[in-house]
Amino acid sequence: MLPVSLGNFSTSLLNFIAHGCKINGRIPNEVRNLSSLLILDISGNNLVGSIPTSIGNMRNLQDLDWTNNKLTVVANVCKLQHLGAIYLGHDQLSGSLPNCLGNATSLREIHLGSNKLSSNMPTSLWNLKDLLVLDLSSNSMGGSLPPEIGNLKVVTQMNLLLNQFSNEIPGEIGGLQNLEKLSLRHNKLQGSIPGSMSNVVGLEFLDLSHNNISGIIFKFLDKLQTLKYFNVSVNKLYGEIPSVGPFKNLSS
């Protein structure tokens, strides 16, 4: 277990890494004493319970990696105003994403895949205008993807596969001109592929498979010159598959 004496380490300690050490139990509140910590990596253990509220005292924390544990509550990270990356995938987080997450405007990467998160995405999430990576895959989140998704102007990777998102893909997604990877596989999305997607000129990976998307496979997709992977299987699309642009070199 992590002993309470963890809090006796020097306040000038910058990195604490204990990956895959078979640590059990809860994270002690005394972790708050490590006030200068920049990186806290305790991934790949058997830690349980919620993230302690005392973590809000770790004002300098920039990188939080608690992947592959059994943690249940994420809300207490909202106070970390310098947090750049949060890794909490393959835990047991449940319920809704806290609305306060949008207050952590320093966030560049959010990795919360393979949990039990449900409900809609909080509206504050779209305030994170410097976000580069958003991974909420393999949860049970639902509702519509809102037009505000277009606020994430610099995002490069968006992985929302294996959720319950419904209704149409918003046209504003075409404003994400830095987007390289988009996966919306295995949701309940409807309507057509928005024509604005032709503006995402740097897109390399596009997976819209296993939805209820309908209409014509539009020719505009041939404008995506950097496309290397394209999957729209198990939908209700029809029409001719483009044969120019990136489709000249893609295998079946």
Band of pLDDT at residue 248, cut at 50, 70 and 90? confident
Report the C-alpha gap between 41 and 251 in whole angstroms.
40
DSSP letters, 134-170, are EE--SSEEEEEPPGGGGG-TT--EEE--SSEEEEEPP
List, for residues 24-82, the tens digit of each pLDDT value: 999 999 999 999 999 999 999 999 988 888 888 888 999 999 999 999 877 778 888 89
Give the residue from 103, 125, 123 showing the smallest Cα distance to 112. Answer: 125
**Cα dihedral sign, 112-104-174-243:** negative
Q: Which amino acid is residue 46, in one-letter code?
A: N
* pTM score, whole prediction: 0.94
All domains of the chain, ordered by start, with CATH?
A: 4-248 (3.80.10.10)
Residue 8 structure tokens: 């006796």
Band of pLDDT at residue 212, cut at 50, 70 and 90? very high
